[in-house]
């Protein structure tokens, strides 16, 4: 809450606008507007000393020396290191119905992924992956492939990491997928059919048929007059 902290420092200390702006990561003009009452109206000041952001001694050093840059206080609370996650990812109950669609998307778009990688991404089982891959899933007819990132089942960083890892381990599968997704060359799609020249119409025969039609129409008109 940088503005709330700036409000408290403006009201309770004699620090310069530049020092407060540097500490709160604000522009100096924003701090001046706070002091003039043009900004942060209605925002209650937040004491950075009680919240552990800075010590009183550090504020006093800043008040004594206008060139001193305030430093954040070192946290006395040591958090335990984050252990790497093991096992399948936990999926919220509200998202579990979307897992088959995400698995179908992964199987189609990234066949190089192993079952264990798909399990880590969306939190499923090998039997479910096999059933979706073999189209024997009980709801296979109603499944629609959906990106697991847009469904909120995994992050884009996790998906990119697993895809790049699988690509290094199984480059042949990536090449096959790229070949299947590649469009046909233009020389093939725009090539003329064999024997097209033989099917070209003869200009002289067309004009001859038109002349014959005109003669037939003229004969019919003469018969009507008679």
Average pLDDT over residues 62-88: 74
Write a three-state SS string for 78-89.
CCCCCCCCCCCC
Residue 80 maps to a domain: no
> pLDDT by residue (tens digit) across 122-166?
888 899 999 999 999 888 889 999 999 888 888 888 888 988 888
pLDDT at 195: 46
- pLDDT score, position 225: 56
* Mean pLDDT for all residues in the chain: 76
Mean pLDDT is lowest, of 51-55, 71-75, 89-93, 113-117, for 89-93
Residue 3: count of CB within 10 angstroms of its CB: 17
Of 147, 164, 181, the last residue of a domain is 181
Q: Are residues 44 and 120 in the same domain?
A: no
116 and 160 housed in the same domain: yes
Q: Is the model's pLDDT at 204 over the cut of 50?
A: yes
Q: Are residues 57 and 134 in the same domain?
A: no
User: What is the tally of structural domains in the chain?
Assistant: 2
Domain match, 98 and 57 both? no
**Tokens 């001046």, located at residue:** 32
Residue 47 inside a domain? The answer is: yes
CA distances from 1 to 11, 59, 70, 73, 103 (A): 16, 18, 17, 16, 41
pLDDT-derived band at 183, boundaries 50, 70, 90: very low
| Residue 90 pLDDT greater than 90, yes or no | no
DSSP the chain: -HHHHHHHHHHH----HHHHHHHHT--HHHHHHHHHTSSSTTPPP--TTTTTSS-HHHHHHHHH-TTPPP-PPPPSPPPPPPPPP-SSPP--GGGGGGHHHHHHHHHHH-TTS-HHHHHHHH---HHHHHHHHTT-STTGGG-----HHHHTSS-HHHHHHHHHHHHHH-HHHHHHHHHHHSPPPHHHHTPPPTTTGGGSPPHHHHHHHHHHHHHHHHHHHHHHH-
Across 23-32, 41-50, 52-61, 107-116, least confident range = 41-50
Residue 198 included in any domain: no
| pLDDT beyond 90 at 104 | yes
Do residues 45 and 125 share a domain? no
Residue where the block lists tokens 């090449």: 175
Is residue 11, in this structure, part of any structural domain at all?
Answer: yes
Both 128 and 52 in a single domain?
A: no
Q: What is the pLDDT confidence band of residue 30, given thresholds at 50, 70 and 90?
A: confident
* Domain-embedded: residue 124: yes
31 pLDDT more than 70: yes
Same domain? 101 vs 176: yes
Q: Is residue 148 part of a domain?
A: yes
- Give percent of the chain with pLDDT exceeding 90: 12
Instruction: Between 198 and 47, name the one with better pLDDT.
Output: 47
The domain in which residue 36 lies consists of 2-64
Q: What is the pLDDT of residue 127?
A: 92
Its sign, for the CA torsion 61, 64, 68, 69, is: positive
Q: Is residue 105 part of a domain?
A: yes
Domain boundary among 181, 202, 217: 181
């Amino acid at each position: 809450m940088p503005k709330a902290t700036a409000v408290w420092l403006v009201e309770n200390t004699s620090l310069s606008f530049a020092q407060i702006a540097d500490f709160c990561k604000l522009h100096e003009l924003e701090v001046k507007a706070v002091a003039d009452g043009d900004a942060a109206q209605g925002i209650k000041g937040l004491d950075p000393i009680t919240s552990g952001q800075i010590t009183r001694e550090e504020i006093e050093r800043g008040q004594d020396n206008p060139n001193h840059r305030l430093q954040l206080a070192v946290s006395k609370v040591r958090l335990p290191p984050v252990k790497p996650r093991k096992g399948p990812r936990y999926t919220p109950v509200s998202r579990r119905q979307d897992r088959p669609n995400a698995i179908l998307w992964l199987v189609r778009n990234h066949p190089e992924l192993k079952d264990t990688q798909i399990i880590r991404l969306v939190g499923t089982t090998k039997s479910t992956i096999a059933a979706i891959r073999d189209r024997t899933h009980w709801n296979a007819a109603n499944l629609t492939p959906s990106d697991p990132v847009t469904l909120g089942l995994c992050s884009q960083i996790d998906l990119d990491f697993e895809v790049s890892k699988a690509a290094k381990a199984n480059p042949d599968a990536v090449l096959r997928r790229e070949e299947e997704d590649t469009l046909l060359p233009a020389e093939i799609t725009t090539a003329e059919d064999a024997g097209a020249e033989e099917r070209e119409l003869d200009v002289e025969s067309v004009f001859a048929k038109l002349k014959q039609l005109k003669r037939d129409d003229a004969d019919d008109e003469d018969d009507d007059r008679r």
